[in-house]
Structure formats: C-alpha cells, structure tokens
Structure 1
Amino acid sequence: MNNAFLYKHLLIVLAAGTILGSCSKSFVTKTPSNNLPTPDALNSASALQSDLNGTYAEIRNVDQFGRDFLVIGDLMADNTFVEARNSGRYLYQYADAIPVTDQVTRDMWGESYTGILRCNNIIDANVSGTDAIKAQAYAIRALLYFKLVNIWATPYTSDSSAMGVPLVLHYNVTATPARSSVGAVYRQIVSDLTKAFATAPAYVNSVTLSKYAIEGLLARVYMYMGDYTDALTAAKDVINNGPFTLVSANSFLSFWANPGVHTDAVEVMFEIDCDPVNNNAFDDLGAIYINGYQDIYCSSQLAGLFDSTDVRLFLLIQGTTKSGALAYLVNKFPNAQNNDRDNLKVIRLAEVYLIAAESAARLGQTTAAQGYVNSVAQTRDGAFGGYTDSGPALIADIVQERRKELAFEGDRLFDMNRLGLPINRATNNGSVAQGNGLSIAYPNDYRISPLPQQELLANPNIAKQQNPGY
C-alpha cells in the first residue's frame, strides 16, 4: 500500500490497522517488519517489545521528531530564517502561508497518526507483565497528541473549548472521528502521561522513556495548560528526586557534539536514537542547518541575545549563507555528515528548571523562580550575575531564557502561541523575501496549520471542521 493512499485515507486506514509503516524519505525502522499488527496479534511480551521498538523508530521519522516538528517550531516564529538559495523546503511555513495541500503538513499529520496507531495496539494488547512497555506507549501517544494539538489547534490557554484534533484511542475499522475539543485532547494527554508515570521503567539510558522523563513531559503539559501549581509540583519532583543533572559549561559543547546514547543522566532526559544504522541519512535534522542542505540559519535577533561569555553562543558559527550573505550557522546538531548522527532531543533537564521557574513566578514565588532560572542561566554563562527582577519582568526574563536555551529544538512558536505573544521577525540579510521581517499579531489564523486537504476528503466528520482562514 503506497504513501499516497495512506495519506488520502488516513484515519479510515489507521482504524483498520492494515497499512504498512511508512518509510518516508530515507527512514529505516529498527524492526524487521513494517506491518502494523492488530492488538490480537501482539500476544507476547517479546512481540510488544518489538512493536515498541518500531514505535520509537516511527517517531524518528523526518515528518515527526526527526526534523519537521523541530524545524517548524523555530522557523514559524522568530528564531530562524530560510536563505534565498534554498532547496525548496519549508518555504510556506516561513512565509506564514501554508496551503491545505502542503506536503510537510500532510506528512506530519499522517505519520503522527501512524505512530498513535502503534501505541494504541500496544496499549490494547492483552499481555500480562508488560506494564513498563505499555507505559512507554502511553507516553509516546501523549507526546504525539501534544504535538498535534499544538500544531493544529488554538492554545489551551486561549480557548480550551475550541476544536482540537481527532482522538483515536482504539482499533476500530469503521472509525471516522470528528475533532475533539482542545480541552478533551489535553485531558487525554494528562491521563496518558499519568498512567505512564505510574508504571514507567527507571532510567537506563537517554533513548528510553523513563519515569522522571515522563514526569518532565507532564510538567510541560501542565504549563501549556496554565496549570502552574501542578506544573511546579511535577517539575520540582523531577529536579529533587530524579537522577538527572545539568550539563556544565565546560562540557556543554562536547555534550552537543556527542551523537552517542547517554547513560550518565547528564542533561538529556529523553532523546530519539539516530545510530549508524537507523537514521534519516541526508534528511537528518542537522543537515537542514549545516553540513547538508544548509537552508536555515539563526536569526540575527536571536544571535544578539547571547553575551560573549555565554557558552550557548558557541553553538553558532559566524559565516555566510550559500549565496554569500553574512549569517550565523546553527551547529547544535553537527553530525549530519558523520556515520553516527545526532540524537534528537525531546526533553532536557534545563527545560524542567525553566518550567519550574515560570510556574513559580506566576504563583508569586519570586525567590524560588529566580533560583530555578538562574540555575540554567548562570550554568551557561559563568559571568552572568543572575536575574533579580520580579513580577512580569521576571516572567519575561524566563521566557527569554527559554528562547535562548531551547533554540532550534522546536518550542518557540508554541511558547509564543500559549503566551499570546506577537511574532516580530528581524530582517535578515540573505533571507528569502517571503517571511523576512514579517510581523504576525496574536491571534492570527495562520499561526495554526491547516488540516490536510486529503484528510478532509477522506473523513466526512471533519470535512467542515477546517481551521479558520483556510
């Protein structure tokens, strides 16, 4: 069954569970079979583990955490730009003019629901003694729904009753679900992560979803819901009781240069493995920035936020675009041309500190908030004296620190959407004209992506549920 059929008839086929796992672009799975078995076929712990391996491989896909999720979160905001001499990728996203037929949007949607189907089949399989495996499936399903609802729906903090995305939670050959509300999708995400946390495995390595990595994701979700009390509680538990430590300034650059799996619990809580066999080849995330297509560059506005003593500045290389304009190249993912490519960070301890900081600040716990944000800021820049603001100014400091720390990891657009912030891009030399220097107010219909046209044609229950403006 080919990919055109998959995308044209996605939800119908997802429910049927008869599709082949996509091998989009150069994606290679870790499992010997591309078939997506029904829950009844998953009748042993070894079968569930094999399918879980395939599910981890699925979310490495270029159309998910392998590249698109991470790229659009920065490019559709104000952190990056596409240069004039480009390979034709992400031009609609940068121009803030995505058509309903856009391939990037279509493939992100389609591959995400393929991953959700894999999770559903593991969760519904009747096999005893597999709680840890199912916990990871719950967590991956939550991760995918969190991305879906942020890309295709109004932020929870703006209107939780708005249309979210279809919830597909079980194998059903006749399902053509309508869009659930944003609130319903978030409740499902919280439920999945709570269940996952209860039976998740202890930390073994950075490419397995473990107990405190899952709680870190839960803290993120609570913050996006504006539930700062629960976000702070979860974040503090991770910081105080989890095994993780922040990477030091002296080790920061080598941390990002290292493509290997971590077993030391330093900084990275969960990342997606791209090893010498299983990777996205020339479609690797890093290649869109450097050592490959090299289409996307750091905005001058973002580069200007880093002091000369901030170690994060050294993840940028002063150089030129391919057409010769002065620009900052992104070297956060430097292994695009190496045999072992960069693993793809999903959540790091620094983010959890910043979740704790923002949540504490919004709850009026100024001293605690300063402590959390300065734990990150002063670790990255030993010459920085620390943030001393309070109230709204401290919250603005924390949001800016999130921008600096999480740059190129796909969070910026969704931070700006949940906070209702306008997007005011710098005018970057060498950028394509469409999107360069663009200002996008909040709210704006085009900060939310359109549902793919193929999906509207295939599913009558969402045919009239397209997002406004499309």
Structure 2
Amino acid sequence: MKKIEKYPYKRIINYMFLILILSNLASCTDLDQEFDKQELFTDSHATAVINSGSTQGLKALDGAILAYFRDGESSEDEFGIKAVDLGMDLRSNDMDMSRNTWFGFYNNYDNVILTSNDNEFIWKFFYKIINNSNAIINLVPPTAPEESLVFKYKSHAYRAIAYFYLLRIYQHTTSDDSTLAIPIDKGDFVGQPKSSINEVKKLILDDLNVAYEGLESYQRASKEEVDANVVAAFLARYHLTYKNWGEAEKYSDIAMQVGSISDDVLHGFDDISLSEVLWGADVTPATSETYASFFAHSSPINDGYNGWDHIKTINSNLYDFIPSTDKRKKWFADQLYPANTVIIPGTWAHYAAIPKYTSLKFIAEPGPGEFIGDYIYLRNTEFYLTKAEALARQNKNTEAQQVLFDLNTIRDDSYVKSSKTGQALIDEILMYRRVELWGDGVASFDMARNGIGLNRKDGRLNPVMPGADLVIPALDTRMIYAIPLSEIDANPNINN
C-alpha cells in the first residue's frame, strides 16, 4: 500500500509516545506537528513506555483516529464518515437531491471512475484509518498491561470498520469469495496486490472478534468511544451482509439492548446523548467544521448548502408507504413550505422554499449560520430491524413479528403486529429498514446485499436532480468504485 497519510505517522509514532507522555500533551492537535531527529527514537523506546503502564500517547493516537472519523479532510464533501454515509445514501433508491452541487457526483454515479476526487477521498480516508490503526496494533505487544491493550482492541475495531466499508464499496457484495477485491495493508507501507473477498472478510471478522472479546469488560467514558456494544453492532452488520443469520441475530440482540427507543422523532438527530445512540461524535463550536459538515448538507432549516436549495428528499413511493399515524412521516415535509416558514415548532424560519418530501429528519442547532450538531454513527433501532430480518430469514416468524412490533409500536401507536410470514415478512421488515434508517448510510449497502439495482424511473414525484434519473442493474460496474488512479500509479503490485 502506498504511503497515503498526510503525515509520516509510522516514523514519528514512537517519538509521539515519549513526547506526549513526558510533556503531558494529550491533545489531538499534537499529531499535526513535524518533529526533528526522529531517528533517535526506536521501537524499544515505545515498547518500554507501553509496558510501563502509561497510556498518554495511546490516548492521543486513539483520539486522533476518532477525530479523523469525525472530520476527515475537513472540506465541503470530505468531512469524515458521515460524508461517506451521505454519499452512499445518495446512490440509493431512497434519497434524491434537487440539483447538481456538492455530492451531486454521488447521486448521478459520476464519481465511480478511477480519476474522481470523491473516489480518491473514500480510498484515502479508510486506508488512513487502517494505517493509523496498524501503528497501534503493531506497537502494542500482547503482553502489554490491560490499560494499553484496550487501545489495541479499539484499533482492531477501527481497522475492521474501514475494511468493511472498502470491501462493499469497491467490490460487489454478492460476488464469489474468490473474487479479487482490495489490497490488505500490513502496516509497512509496501504496496500489496489485491486480496480476495474471502481474505478481506476473514481479516474483518477476526478483527471484530478480537475487539469484541477484548472490550467485553471495558467501560467507556462516553458514547464517542468504541466498546463491545459498538463492536457487536458491526458484527451484526457483517453477519447480516454475508447471510450468517444466526450470528446476525446474536449480535444484533446485544446492540439493540443499549439504551432505549425514543417516542420523540423530531429532535433532529443531532445529539449523541439521545437514548437510541450507540456511537457517535460530540461536535462543539470548537470542533465544528461549519460548512464542511453533515448538517450543512442535511439540515434544510440552516443556511448551509441544504438550506440554499440543495435539498435532499425521500423517494415519494417510500414516503407513501409510511402510515399517516407513524411519527416517522414527520421526518419529511408533507407539503410545499414557502420561504421564512417555521415548520417545526421551537426552531426557526428557513431561507428557501421547502418542497414536499424534503427531509426534516436532521436539524442542526442552535440556529442559522451555525451547524452545531453531533454526529450519530449507530442507533439501536437499526438492530431491532437487523434482528427481525435475521429471525425471519431463519423462518422464526413469530419472533421476528414481535421484534418488529416492539420497534414500530413506539414509532406508530396504531401499528398492528404483522401476521406475514416468509418472504412477505422479510419484505415488510426491509421496507421499515428503509424508513427507519433513511439518511443513516445504510440504504445502498442494503441494496447491494439483497441484489437490488437502482431504479429512479419508478414514478416518484419528489424532485430528482437532472441526469440522476438512472436505471442501473445490481451487478453493473457502476454499482462499485474503481480503485483510484493515484493508488494504481503508486502501487506497482496492484493487480487489475
């Protein structure tokens, strides 16, 4: 793998351990410094520090990885994991945008080519997480004290998450396991050939299992941290994706037990303290990237890109599926609202007109000109639906009906427990996944694992960006990304 990170982490990491510990500088900003005389510090120094039980340096490095998950490259459409999630949703059947602007290339499938900036961002973003995770994994020995091993386990989780995204973005999810996919970075910055889907899947699953077992007794300080419950959520996603229904049931049951489901759906999904949140990032005025942020592109009330008529809408066919008694229908505008109208009580008037079907699910606080909203990566409601699907796939119809009922009765007082079985029940669960997880970065990945293509000529009435009214079969080459030219040029071992 070519050396893609912005700073030479592998060469400075040992120095970082020492300088951060000796100077008590645990701030993530310290990772943005260049240091002289790096060659004076060796692996033995770092190992000695780790074995001493001090974790200052590890905390800083772990914090830097989490900050990168949140911020990415801090540009208008490269703001971390939420930028990827938004881009992937804009490739789905469920989310449209009104006109070609930021994220437009995702919506019209123009950025799958090997020279696309968006494509290069996705590749570099996840491999940078892998690079930095490898640094901790390779430097913390298995004999280190438990307080140091915790960071090693977390890094296994980060690495697995990154590979899981890459594998599904750069290869068809339903391809045979022998199909070549992406390179596995061994942490030495030596370009590697593509590994097979099976090899990457094994690495992901091994990493997740190591992380889950290692973090089972770990008590995190906040929802910004990864713990065993977060890892269980990704294990549930992994097993659902690859049709391991029993394991998907097992791990989704763990993830769905975290917190509770709120009967209030009009809170904007902008606060990680919400009872449904498993994992997210606390965004403050100091860490907000303002216009380079998820809410600048998703909150129609603020004066960001979405508020300037770059609106995101729900497929009107999916909107029509939502019962009128279901609170989730309020996530979307039920009519055309003129400019300067207060739509949601207690918020503020918006600047541009908001057409019917516009998303009102994500609303940033506190007002126009600011985008202070936390990033929510995982919610427990996803795993009610994952468990319900996994049960239904195993013909455990009664149990699946009950899990779906447990979720939907909180969202819809009038919901009646389903009496469907077999494929009809699975189809109902999948429809509710599309509703509940709209805008959460799940839709296109669900399409891929279920072999569903893109069809924007389905009679939808919501605004569709010109040129994005596409019909693409499930296994078309446009449904996955080409490995970027920058990687091909830098990696002589890449095999096309």
Question: Identity of paired residues, percent?
Answer: 23
Q: Give the alignment partner of residue 33 of structure 1, picking from 14, 31, 34.
A: 31
Match in the other structure for 2:227: 210
> 1:307-362 CA distances to partner (integer Å, 9 max, x unpaired)?
22211122223446998683432232211665572222222111111111111111
Alpha-carbon distance in 2 for matches of 1:34, 1:455 = 24
Measured at CA, do residues 417 and 258 of structure 1 come closer, stay the same or move farther in structure 2, by a change above 3 Å? closer
- Contact 1:378-1:384 at 8 Å conserved across structures: yes
- 1:203 is displaced (CA, Å) by 4.6
Partners of 2:375 and 2:442 in 1: how far apart? 14
3-state DSSP of counterpart to 2:68 = helix
**Counterparts of 1:392 and 1:283 in 2: how far apart (Å)?**
42
Partner of 2:473: 441
Report if the CA contact (8 A) 1:119-1:138 is conserved: yes
Instruction: Say if 1:68 and 1:104, in contact at 8 Å, map to a contact too.
Output: no
* Alpha-carbon offset, residue 409 of structure 1: 0.8
Q: Are the equivalent residues in 2 in contact too, given 1:94–1:434 (CA < 8 A)?
A: no
Rg bigger for which structure? Answer: 2
Distance of aligned partners of 1:14 and 1:257 in 2 relative to their CA distance in 1, 3 Å threshold:
closer
CA 1:60 to 1:257, structure 2 compared with 1: closer, same or farther past 3 Å?
A: closer
Shift of 1:205: 2.5
**TM-score, normalised relative to structure 1:** 0.85
Paired with 1:336 and 1:30, the residues of 2 have a C-alpha distance of 25
CA distance in 2, matches of 1:258, 1:100: 34
**Deviation at 1:238?**
3.9
CA distance in 1: counterparts of 2:466 and 2:179, whole angstroms: 33
CA shift in 2, pair 1:164/1:435, >3 Å: same
Distance in 2 (CA, whole Å) between partners of 1:326 and 1:39 is 60
Q: Aligned to 2:386, what secondary structure does the other structure show?
A: helix
Contact 1:361 / 1:395 at 8 angstroms: preserved in 2?
yes
The residue that corresponds to 2:151 in the other structure is 133
Q: Report 1:9-408 matches (<5 A).
A: 10=3, 17=10, 30-34=28-32, 40=43, 42=46, 43-44=49-50, 45-62=55-72, 63=78, 65-84=80-99, 86=100, 88-98=101-111, 99-126=113-140, 127-129=144-146, 130-155=148-173, 157-170=174-187, 172-173=188-189, 175-200=190-215, 201-239=218-256, 242=257, 244-249=258-263, 251-254=264-267, 256-259=268-271, 261-262=272-273, 266-289=275-298, 290=300, 291=302, 292-294=304-306, 295-298=310-313, 299-317=315-333, 318-319=335-336, 326-335=355-364, 341-408=372-439
Aligned length: 435
Residues 68 and 108 in structure 1, CA contact (< 8 A), matched pair in contact too: no
Structure-2 residue corresponding to 1:4:
none
Which whole-Å deviations, capped at 9, do the CAs of 1:280-301 have from their partners, x for residues lacking one? 2211112112221012412323
Deviations 1:174-231 (A, max 9, x none): x101111112111111111111111212354321111122112111111111111111
Check the 8 A contact 1:39/1:121 in 2, yes or no: no
Q: TM-score, normalised by structure 2?
A: 0.80
The SS at the match of 1:282 is: coil
Q: Say if 1:83 and 1:297, in contact at 8 Å, map to a contact too.
A: yes
Question: 1:358-381 deviations in whole A, cap 9, x for unaligned?
Answer: 111111111111111222222211
- Which ranges in structure 1 are unaligned for 5 or more consecutive residues? 1-7, 21-28, 466-470
- Worse overlay, 427-436 or 306-315: 427-436
- Give the letter aligned to residue 118 of structure 2: V
Change (3 A) 1:283 1:11: closer
Q: Secondary structure at the match of 2:279?
A: strand
Q: CA RMSD in A?
A: 2.8
CA distance in 2, matches of 1:258, 1:443: 35
Question: Quick one: which amino acid aligns to residue 486 of structure 2?
Answer: Q
Q: What secondary structure is seen at the aligned counterpart in 2 of 1:193?
A: helix
Q: Secondary structure at the match of 2:185?
A: coil
Higher-RCO chain (CA-CA 8 Å, sequence separation at least 6): 1
1:249-278, Cα deviation, whole Å (9 max, x unpaired):
1x3323x4553x42x7x2111112322211
